[in-house]
Amino acid sequence: MKNEKNIAVVLLAAGGSSRMGKAKQLLPWRNTTLLGNAIQSAKQSKAKHLYVVLGAKATGIKDSHDDKAIHWVLNQDWKKGMGSSITSAIAHILKTSIAYDGILIMLCDQPLIDTVYLNELMDTFSETDKSIVATTYKHRKGVPAVFDKMYFLELKKLTEDFGAKDIILKNVEDMIALNPKGKEKDLDTMQEYNKLLNV
């Protein structure tokens, strides 16, 4: 393996959970919450730092997961969607003095995404000549994904609710995708949550 690269995790947790009917970030999951589970997986990974982007119900969510190891980012424009959260995180990161080689973008509502898979993404990023390492879905490629620093400014310009998928689509020749083997399941409704919780 090449030298491990300096990678930060950006955990997106700013949404209003409109389809869920309640803040999905605070829904119980194992011995914590959906957000707490994602935080644990990220903190135990090879990532150097963790940035958690909050928006809707930010104060209550932060108070429930206060951790000095987390860099909290507030997205005032969270209603504009995932792209605005990525923009907020990148803007925050670019103001720091830390020179990251890349960032790994992940979501708080994919509870089966674990430390093992996050490390697999980062190890692949360190080994490959490609600048994007994404996750394979049935009909698309998406997050969790690692983006090289060369994409930071492009990520910072995202404004709509398409997240980073347009950047992945535009740069497929510079992308490698991993098979998450079922870990990619995301939870948008209480029915999906209860079904996965009882598996």
pLDDT one-digit tens code per residue, 87-103: 999 999 999 989 999 99
pLDDT at 65: 84
pLDDT at 161: 57
User: Residue 159 and residue 55: Cα distance in Å, rounded?
Assistant: 15
Domain boundaries, the chain: 7-197
CATH T-level assignment (fold) for domain 7-197: Spore Coat Polysaccharide Biosynthesis Protein SpsA; Chain A (3.90.550)
In the chain, which stretches have pLDDT less than 50? 1
pLDDT at 162: 64
State which amino acid sits at residue 49: H
Helix axis angle for 115-127 and 34-43, nearest 10°, is 40
Is there a contact between 129 and 58 (Cβ–Cβ < 8 Å)?
no
SS3 116: helix
pTM: 0.95
State which amino acid sits at residue 75: N
Is there a contact between 56 and 17 (Cβ–Cβ < 8 Å)?
yes
pLDDT at 128: 94
